[in-house]
Structure 1
Amino acid sequence: MLIKRAQMLLKPASTYCKNYDTLVDSDDKKQADVYNVKYADLFKLLGEQTGIKNFSYVNVNKIYDVNRELIHNMTERQPAWVFQKWPEYNGSGTMDIITELRRILLALGKFSKCCATRVQIQQRDPASAEAVV
């Protein structure tokens, strides 16, 4: 029993939980709503330039690979939007913004949903729920 509790604490998202998924989806939607408004101008341009219809927060991963190309000095063939600076976003560059949004997307992944994780663990083993902080 102790091993099972430890497994739930170390990898709480390893089993299906409808309530957990509902909480995670709700959090993801709230984040998307915030960033879709905040970066509406950027997302509009990215939709036009990349051909991704209705580009939004959920599409950030689709263009993140451009950043990998930049890291490896593959700059000559990049379109102008990759290097564009955005005064309305504190002068940040397109890829700086995309990198930050991707970091946020990953940070808000299933393992960082503390409240949702508590729900999932509690449903499986109420005695171990208090151990999750």
Structure 2
Amino acid sequence: MRKRAITYLQVALVVAAFALPSFAQSGGETDHKGGRHGQMGMPSVDDHVKHLTKELNLTEDQQAKVKSILEEQQKQMAALRQDSTLSPEDRRAKFQEIHQKTSQEIREALNKDQQRKFDELESKRKGRMKEHHGPPSQSDQQ
């Protein structure tokens, strides 16, 4: 019985050893067109712009501004993911800070009616996040 357990363990270790390099290779940049999602399950910039355009009836000028804002956010998030010097708590706080800044910049590109609707969308998003991840941190409640 013990010999069989050791054999199963050895097989599992060999399978894991071969699987890890394939996971590491698939971690690179992907094409975010065609409705695919980006890092950490987030929609691609184009998908996010399409969603906001549909929900907020964005003009072409607003779409261009929002796309630029979201592309900058994506760059900042990618750089933050690569920063191994931060603790998980610090990284999470920086992610929240970047998201809040991005939301504020998008909000400033909108008219009053769009801002109201955007605030509703953000409130729903926060509700979904709370359901999936527990209550927000102190910095998210400000």
**TM-score scaled by length of structure 2:** 0.29
**Greater radius of gyration (CA):** 2
